[in-house]
Structure formats: C-alpha cells, structure tokens
Homo-oligomer: A and B are copies of this chain.
Amino acid sequence: MSKCEQCIVRQFSSLKALNKDELLRMAECKTSYTIKKGEPIFEEGEVTNGIYCIKDGVCKLSKLSDNGKDQIVKLVKPGELLGQRSMISDEPANLSAVALEDMEVCFIPRSEVMQFFTQNNQFSMNVMKTICEDLKGADDHMVNMAQKTVRQRLAETLIYLEDTFGKNDDGTLRIQLSREELAGMIGTATESCIRLLSELNKSTYIELIGKKIKLLDKNKLKRLT
C-alpha cells in the first residue's frame, strides 16, 4: 500500500486539496489496480461505488449508440478522476471507461470520498469545478458534432491529440488509437475516417507511417477547421 501523500499525480486533481490526515485515511482505504490495454475500468450502467484516480496511462470514455457504434466522449489522462458525476448523482456510470494503454489506477470508495466532500470545502469546490469544465467541454463538443463536417472534426481531433498527448521521437502522435477508435471520436464510419486520413496524407497535411500518424503542418490543418 503506497502512500497517497507522495503520489505526484494527486497534485493535478481535485485531491490536491486534501490535508495530511485525509491523505493517510485515503491511503488506507484505496485499492490499486493495473489495467491492461483494452480492458475496461468500468462499463456503462455499472454501479461504480467510488472514484478512480488515474495514476498512469490514458483511457477512453465512450457510450454505445443505438446504431451499435461506440462514440468516444472524452479521453482521460493521468491526474484526472473518473466517476465523479456518478458519485454525486448517485447513479450508475453513464459511460464506459476502457484503457487505451496499460494503466495504473487507484480506486477510492464512495463513502470515503463523500466524507472528504462534506468536510473539505476546497476539495468539493475542486470537484465541482472539474464537472463544470466537463460540462462546458461537452456543450462545445456537441456543437462541433452538430455543425462541423467530418473532415473538420478529423482535423480538429488530430490537433487535439498532438497538443494533449504529444509526439514520439519520430514526430508521430504518441497516443495510439485504432482507426475505429479515431472514427469513434469524430463520430463517423471507420471507412470514412480511413479515407479522409488517406486524403490528408496525399495532400501532405499528415503522413501515415503504418498505423501511426504524423502531423506535417498543424497550421494548414487548423485552417481546415
């Protein structure tokens, strides 16, 4: 059982507001998990009974649509918390969380978090602000989905992926999504996504190196959006 006090990612989440005492209590009741790429942390409809703190690795939050396609709503990085909304609403998860890379996460039981929540004003304020950010992000995202073309959404998403998760040494996107997952982010058919990538490749906006993607001219891409 490692000490939460010394955990670096905690500093990036709402948990940074916890005091020494609370951190000790959390260290005692938390459970650490390793999640392999492709495995779920929780699924849509599941009762989560606590929140997850992402220590390492990236996961996708997605929802299965009636047409059988999985729409990715958000990608979540180390330092972020999962399951805050469910905890506050006291509802099952609205989205599935699946690892895009091998992950390390800590589970903190609902009872404990709720205690911090009512006792520690700064913590609850942090959680609230995070949810407010998510709401703003979701509203903006919705407008993009409704008003922009697939090509625009693809260009935007590629830029977002580079800005948020960075590049490998060879300049390709560090985060590795399958074509299907990328299609799930921009909300289109996998074939359409692949076709548009080919097109952007031919017109030297990007370079496709196997399954990897390298942005060649971010400004040119930005002009597409």
Contact = CB atoms under 8 A, between A and B. Distances in A.
B132 A88 contact: yes
A95 B148 contact: no
A111 interface: no
A89 B133 contact: yes
A139 B148 CA distance: 17
A141 interface: yes
A88 B147 contact: no
Given A134-B135, A135-B135, A146-B187, 16 more contacts: A63-B140, A65-B146, A65-B147, A65-B148, A66-B147, A71-B142, A73-B142, A85-B132, A88-B132, A94-B136, A128-B131, A131-B131, A138-B138, A141-B142, A145-B187, A147-B187
A99 to B, nearest CB: 20
Contact of A147 (B71, B131, B135): B71
Contacts of A121: 118
A133 B142 CA distance: 16
A139 B138 contact: yes
Contacts of A73: 139, 142-143
25 contacts: A63-B139, A63-B140, A65-B143, A65-B147, A65-B148, A66-B147, A67-B148, A69-B147, A71-B146, A71-B147, A73-B143, A85-B135, A85-B136, A88-B128, A88-B132, A118-B121, A128-B128, A128-B131, A131-B132, A135-B138, A138-B139, A145-B145, A145-B187, A146-B187, A147-B187
Interface residues of A, number: 38
A129 interface: yes
A89 B132 contact: yes
A140 B187 CA distance: 13
